[in-house]
Amino acid sequence: MRDNGSVSSPDLGRARRADFPFFSSHPDAVYLDSGATSQRPDAVIDAEVDFVRSDYAAVHRGSSVATGEATWAFESARERVAAFVGAGERELVWTAGATDALNMISLGISDASAGLGDDSLALSAGDEIVLTEAEHHANLIPWQRLAKRTGAVLRPVGVDADGLWSIDAMRAVVTPRTRLIAFPHVSNVTGQIAPVGDVVELARSVGALTVLDACQSVPHMPVDVSALGVDFAAFSAHKMLGPTGIGALYGRAELLDALPPARTGGSMITTVTLDEAEFLPAPNRFEAGTQPVSQAIGFGAAAAYLSALGMGAVRAHEERIAEALVEAASRTPGVRLVGPAAGHERAAIASVIVDGVHAHDVGQFLDDRGVTIRTGHHCAQPLHRALGVASTTRASASVYTDLDDVARFGEALGEVRDYFGVTA
């Protein structure tokens, strides 16, 4: 079980910046783009570099001392990341990223539907896949493809004028034909935090699986996938202070044992003939080919770093940042904040629309003033279409964000319309 303590955790925000070399190189930077990718602390960088320099070897191959030591480090990282999210070590699969993890679920169900493997996960024509209009494309397109392969029907849960969906709206969409519900734990645009327990209860009432996009939650709040009761979850290292090129797929053990592997090749088999292949138990059956060994070491170090801070403390810190972001946006004339209103729970993500100024121009203006944010549709075009805009300007925080960062963001945001001559 992960450490959710907050009483004895160290101060966050600017007090953490000495741990992150990015801020040594950019001491005046306001980095509010952690929702896209987070900065890495020395502890993560050093763990990966030290492994490559001193202990690098193939894992799960051969019987040498070097291979054994590398395999121990590799699997220890898996145990650390699994414990960080409340999963068993057999329930945590290394992937190329969260996008890859979600595709692995979709492709596995597709194979099961085609008669390859356990048919308990098979979909048939007329079965339903429910998802929200707030999905990141990574948790939308794989289900579009699965529906086309199997004849299943996609049933979206709509959002309101603020980009928010509700459990009541989901209840209106779910039917006895619903076989799978995919949804974001935290919206990467609005910062909305999903009522996961209610969704799981609804899914179980009709015998549907749940797939949780946890990319924007695992780095920022206590997440225990076993306690939440979801069937599958995906998250990535580079959004939680870790390396790029690696993510994690969580699946309940019995479901991973039933899910056909989407990637096949070496390292994931027990026996191969010219006609057939038998696969290892999970998680290794999903990890074909050469492993992302050093990345896994870095991923484990990121989990250890966050655990040492205490995820309860991280969430409390980011709640204060979220409140400040909402206040900064709400008090600025001509700026519309999307997502939960002031006083309502949200993650430390704030996306805004500046009247009369394109989001890309807003982003360039802020960047010229040393404030790094994200502009665009954030890989969530259906949500932006529902909001009636092509793009938004997004500020997103992490453990190294402080109130001074938010103040500089708010100050620069307040100057945008004047600079572009927008007076109406």
Q: d(Cα 163, Cα 141) in Å, to the nearest integer?
A: 19
Let me know: does 200 contact 227? Beta carbons within 8 Å: no
Does the active-site annotation cover 379? yes
Q: d(Cα 189, Cα 37) in Å, to the nearest integer?
A: 14
Catalytic residue among 29, 154, 169, 379: 379
Strand partners, 396: 33, 349
Q: d(Cα 320, Cα 266) in Å, to the nearest integer?
A: 48
Cα–Cα distances (Å) from 331 to 325, 334, 337, in that order, read 10, 9, 10
Burial of 11 (0-12, 13-18, 19+ CB in 10 A): exposed
Region at 264 (left for phi over 0; alpha for psi -120 to 50; beta for the rest)? beta
Residue 42 CA to its chain's centroid (Å): 22
Residue 59 has which token pair? 């894992």
Task: Count the alpha carbons within 13 Å of 79 in the hemisphere toward its beta carbon.
Answer: 6
Let me know: does 206 contact 175? Beta carbons within 8 Å: yes
Neighbours of 122 (CB within 10 A): 18
Neighbours of 355 (CB within 10 A): 12
Long-range contacts of 264-269 (CB under 8 A, 24+ apart): 264/288, 265/289, 267/60, 267/61, 267/291
Residue 394 φ/ψ, nearest 5 degrees? -120, 130
Which helix (H) or strand (E) segment holds residue 235: the answer is: strand 232-236
Active site residues: 379
